[in-house]
Structure 1
Amino acid sequence: MESAGPASTPLDLSGRRILGLALPALGVLAAEPLYLLFDIAVVGRLGALPLAGLAIGGLVLAQVTTQLTFLSYGTTARASRFHGADRHDDAVTEGIQATWLAVCVGAVIVVIGQLLAAPVAGLIAGDEEIATAAVSWLRVALFGAPLILISLAGNGWMRGVQDTARPLRYVVLGLGLSAVLCPILVHGLLGAPRWELVGSAVANVVGQFVAATLFVVALLRTGVSRRPRRSVIVAQLQLGRDLIARSLAFQACFLSAAAVAARFGAAAVAGHQVVLQLWNFVTLALDSLAIAAQALVGAALGAKDTRGASRIAWRVTAWSVLFAMVLAVFFLVGRTLIPGLFTADDAVLDQIDVAWWFFIAIMPLAGVVFALDGVLLGAGDAAFLRNATLTAALVGFLPLIWCSLAFDWGLAGIWTGLTVFIVFRMIAVVWRTRTGRWAVTGADRQVHADDGTGG
């Protein structure tokens, strides 16, 4: 029988401990984007139409599952407190209830998704052939939605008990199987049927099934009661509500930025997309340290160690800023080389150069924001993060994006908006962390007041 493992007593704040949690988490975060690039390369050999169908179908599925990441981050916050309080069964129970929630919500997504797949794909694609291709992929891929959510829940509770190694193994095994099956089923290799675009969706679902099964088996082996508990599920949904609102604010900002960039012409939107994808890579790297902060802060507060939680907060922030500065130097040195890896078009390169200096300048600030986001998420302070993100979006990012369109500021205006967004969020999370009002101790004090001010 597997156990959740012992809590760290006293708190281990060494660089080795932080990296021991962060590096496997980074592997999990990076595994899916890397697989998606491989999937695109495999399907791309079929031609432009299947590739466009994959792009539209993948966008629809991603938009749905991205809004439900609270199953991972929220579960980490709650499970880590019980882990710190040495209540291992309760920590695992968070994973069990999150898994029940994942199954139920995932089933609803499958049903509604099948009904809406064609009209939604048609609306986004704006082309009947592309929409038809997207729907053929999406109808199969939707069956993976519950499996994706189960894996999110599994990642959540395992991070909460400070086990980031097993999730990495499970995710890599599942995606590895998908990577083997994808070219076989898409192109009909080794005597397999040639399913083309649908083969990509089947390969994805098979890999997701393997990963989800491993997470479920890990739960079953703990021996903890598997019955649904309404009170726990309701508490998870309360935390999830705030995280979903926060996620929607991000979506509104970045979709608006893409829409405005497109109105400045093909070169502008292409340049914006290149730098934005690199920004996504940076945020992925910084998020791994934020996950370590979540797990450690939650455990400290569960153990009623506010001083330890505060030390973790600033220690991880220092690591995150240092890492961000290393990345900034890397991209500064590669300013003339890296953009050329993505395009040889002079007009696009000129637009990339406009955004590049903003991209480099905000990295150290992002190091602070992501680390303290992780700290406050680990403390269950999601209501404050919701309010801070919505305020920064409505007061900073969105007005500057639309002013960029009105006054023809181009990418400089859009990336100024992103910079202001990061600065506002940094001010908010630094202030909140310094007040100490987030440091609510005890395993059962896990959701702060809805106004985002109490603790």
Structure 2
Amino acid sequence: MTKAAPQAKHHRRQHDREIVALAVPAFGALVAEPLFVMADSAIIGHLGTAQLAGLAVASALLTTAVSIFVFLAYATTGAVARRVGAGELSAAIRQGMDGIWLALILGAAVIAVVLPTAPALIDLFGASETAAPYAVTYLRISSFGIPAMLVVLAATGVLRGLQNTRTPLYVAIGGFVANAILNVVLVYGAGLGIAGSAWGTVIAQCGMAAVYLVVVVRGARKHGASLRPDAAGIRASAQAGAPLLVRTLSLRAVLMIATAVAARLGDTEIAAHQIILSLWSLLAFAMDAIAIAGQAIIGRYLGAGDSAGAKAVCRRMVEWGIGSGIVLGVLVIVSRPLFIPLFTSDGAVKDAALPALVVVALCQPLSGIVYVLDGVLMGAGDGPYLAWAMLLTLAIFTPFALLIPSWGGGLTAVWGAMTLMMATRAVTLGLRTRSGRWLVTGASR
């Protein structure tokens, strides 16, 4: 055995420790986020069907808004990590503050749009006459929490860039517990109904944002970073986030098209599709946790000028992605008979879901590669390429998916199209990674 072999093994172990240390807490924080909606649903559901239907429509709008602005976390993570790698902690926190100020500006803009247009937005989503008033109430009140939600995204990106994913986990858990308690107290104790649920969530979100701001402000004072808004820095944060916004909107378009096609196939297919989509989202959280670790680690290596280290950790993370995908795929296959009955007792829905779940399971190793490389390129600040790659993917996916009903394809074909989407992303991201053009070193890209 040569001397290089033990050294390579040591580096792999070091990378593994870094990945696990960042990915595990990140996964916990990611899973905690949808629990907010689940807690609200469980509490509001006991008030009546109309209230629950109103919550469903309003929460769909809010979830979409937050997912659109997720670039606040993604763009900030890589940029801050670069500064950390370069040893510029003051500049790292200053860059993070620019992202937080941008979040506040965007949050205020969203409130200004949502408050007057809430009835129209609810109507656009097809809420019934009985559910619409509850949906409007929940949406208008919840809009006051959007700035806090966006601050949480940006501040989470700051801490991830600082290689800290534990604090976001603790804040997410605390926010979930506070949200659940406040909802029970305000909905039932104070008798505020669905308005109490909305106010409880707003208070919990503001509390989470306040904790993040305390942590970031302490770091800024410790390292002498300015807290004042800087127009040039805020503009740079927006410019860095714009390509990731395009990427995210393209991905959301893929999911909306898939759901629309499934709906055209019939009630049975759309019901089965919803079950599979919920599982797919859960699997995505697991993969995204590894991608988040990639954003933080890659950014740090490139900031330190270590392109060889960045390539090495990229290779190791791809191995992690494939391995995790194999494990998750096997779990999906094994748990199929147990998972589907949790959502439905309809035999037709089960029959439609089972073969499509097999497709999802087989796609998991490929998904692992896609999520990892997506995170690697985000950490490298390669947003423009990610935007163009996702637009190309959308262009390939759309005609194939829309032709499924005319071909006589069923739900399995829809998820076959989703696999084609993931394969296209794997090719585009793989080619970019192999080219090495993303390996731009330095404190900023």
Bin for the TM-score computed over the shorter chain: over 0.9
Letter in 2 for 1:407: W
Letter in 1 for 2:137: S
The aligned residue for residue 342 of structure 2 is 341
The aligned residue for residue 3 of structure 2 is none
The aligned residue for residue 399 of structure 1 is 399
- Residue 335 of structure 1 deviates from its aligned partner by 2.2
Checking the alignment, whether the CA contact within 8 Å between 1:400 and 1:414 is kept in structure 2 is no
Deviation readout 1:146-172 (Å, 9 max, x if unpaired): 000000011001100101111211222
- Residue 370 of structure 1 deviates from its aligned partner by 0.3
Letter in 2 for 1:182: N
Checking the alignment, whether the CA contact within 8 Å between 2:73 and 2:154 is kept in structure 1 is yes
Alignment of 1:38 with 2:39, yes or no, is: yes
Taking the TM superposition and a 5 Å limit, the aligned residue runs for 1:287-326 are 287-326=288-327
Secondary structure of the structure 2 residue equivalent to 1:125: coil
- Residue 16 of structure 1 deviates from its aligned partner by 2.1
Distance 1:11 1:294, change over 3 A: farther
Deviation readout 1:332-380 (Å, 9 max, x if unpaired): 1122222122111001001101311211111000000001110000000
The aligned residue for residue 179 of structure 1 is 180
Letter in 1 for 2:109: V
Secondary structure of the structure 2 residue equivalent to 1:194: coil
Taking the TM superposition and a 5 Å limit, the aligned residue runs for 1:237-386 are 237-386=238-387
Deviation readout 1:278-332 (Å, 9 max, x if unpaired): 0010011000000001100000000000000001111111112111111111111
Distance, in Å, in 2 between the alignment partners of 1:330 and 1:11 is 26
- Residue 237 of structure 1 deviates from its aligned partner by 1.2
The aligned residue for residue 415 of structure 1 is 415
Distance, in Å, in 2 between the alignment partners of 1:346 and 1:431 is 43
Secondary structure of the structure 2 residue equivalent to 1:86: coil
Distance 1:12 1:116, change over 3 A: farther
Deviation readout 1:209-253 (Å, 9 max, x if unpaired): 110001111122121211122222222111211111111111111
Unaligned runs of at least 5 residues, structure 2? 1-10
Secondary structure of the structure 1 residue equivalent to 2:310: helix
The aligned residue for residue 450 of structure 1 is none
Checking the alignment, whether the CA contact within 8 Å between 1:174 and 1:209 is kept in structure 2 is no
Distance, in Å, in 1 between the alignment partners of 2:119 and 2:372 is 40
* TM-score normalised by length of structure 1: 0.92
The aligned residue for residue 201 of structure 1 is 198
Checking the alignment, whether the CA contact within 8 Å between 1:109 and 1:142 is kept in structure 2 is yes
The aligned residue for residue 444 of structure 1 is 444
Taking the TM superposition and a 5 Å limit, the aligned residue runs for 1:56-135 are 56-135=57-136
Computed over aligned residues only, the root mean square deviation of the Cα atoms, in angstroms, reads 1.3
Letter in 2 for 1:83: V
Distance, in Å, in 2 between the alignment partners of 1:141 and 1:340 is 33
Checking the alignment, whether the CA contact within 8 Å between 2:54 and 2:127 is kept in structure 1 is no
Unaligned runs of at least 5 residues, structure 1? 1-9, 446-455
- Residue 13 of structure 1 deviates from its aligned partner by 3.4
- Residue 175 of structure 1 deviates from its aligned partner by 2.0
Distance, in Å, in 2 between the alignment partners of 1:28 and 1:233 is 26
Secondary structure of the structure 1 residue equivalent to 2:337: coil
Distance, in Å, in 1 between the alignment partners of 2:127 and 2:172 is 34
The aligned residue for residue 453 of structure 1 is none
Checking the alignment, whether the CA contact within 8 Å between 1:13 and 1:312 is kept in structure 2 is no
Distance, in Å, in 1 between the alignment partners of 2:17 and 2:306 is 21
- Name the structure where helix makes up a greater proportion of residues: 2
Secondary structure of the structure 1 residue equivalent to 2:345: coil
Checking the alignment, whether the CA contact within 8 Å between 1:316 and 1:371 is kept in structure 2 is yes
Distance, in Å, in 1 between the alignment partners of 2:231 and 2:309 is 32
- Residue 11 of structure 1 deviates from its aligned partner by 10
Alignment of 1:213 with 2:215, yes or no, is: no
Letter in 1 for 2:164: D
- Residue 87 of structure 1 deviates from its aligned partner by 0.2
Secondary structure of the structure 2 residue equivalent to 1:338: helix
Deviation readout 1:81-105 (Å, 9 max, x if unpaired): 0000000011111211111111111
Distance 1:417 1:372, change over 3 A: same
Distance, in Å, in 1 between the alignment partners of 2:276 and 2:240 is 32
Letter in 1 for 2:440: V
- Residue 58 of structure 1 deviates from its aligned partner by 0.6
Taking the TM superposition and a 5 Å limit, the aligned residue runs for 1:218-233 are 218-222=215-219, 223=221, 224-233=225-234
Secondary structure of the structure 1 residue equivalent to 2:265: coil
The aligned residue for residue 168 of structure 1 is 169
Checking the alignment, whether the CA contact within 8 Å between 2:58 and 2:135 is kept in structure 1 is yes
Distance, in Å, in 1 between the alignment partners of 2:292 and 2:13 is 16
Deviation readout 1:47-91 (Å, 9 max, x if unpaired): 110000000111111211211111100000100000000000111
Checking the alignment, whether the CA contact within 8 Å between 1:122 and 1:128 is kept in structure 2 is no
Distance, in Å, in 1 between the alignment partners of 2:116 and 2:18 is 47
| Aligned length in residues | 431
Deviation readout 1:14-42 (Å, 9 max, x if unpaired): 32221110011111101011232122111
Distance, in Å, in 1 between the alignment partners of 2:230 and 2:358 is 50
Distance, in Å, in 1 between the alignment partners of 2:412 and 2:250 is 21
Following TM superposition, where does structure 1 have runs of at least 4 consecutive aligned residues deviating by more than 6 angstroms?
Answer: none
Checking the alignment, whether the CA contact within 8 Å between 1:177 and 1:207 is kept in structure 2 is yes
Letter in 2 for 1:370: Y
Secondary structure of the structure 2 residue equivalent to 1:227: coil
Distance, in Å, in 1 between the alignment partners of 2:37 and 2:64 is 15
Letter in 2 for 1:263: R
Percent identity over the alignment? 37
Secondary structure of the structure 2 residue equivalent to 1:443: coil
Distance, in Å, in 2 between the alignment partners of 1:429 and 1:54 is 38
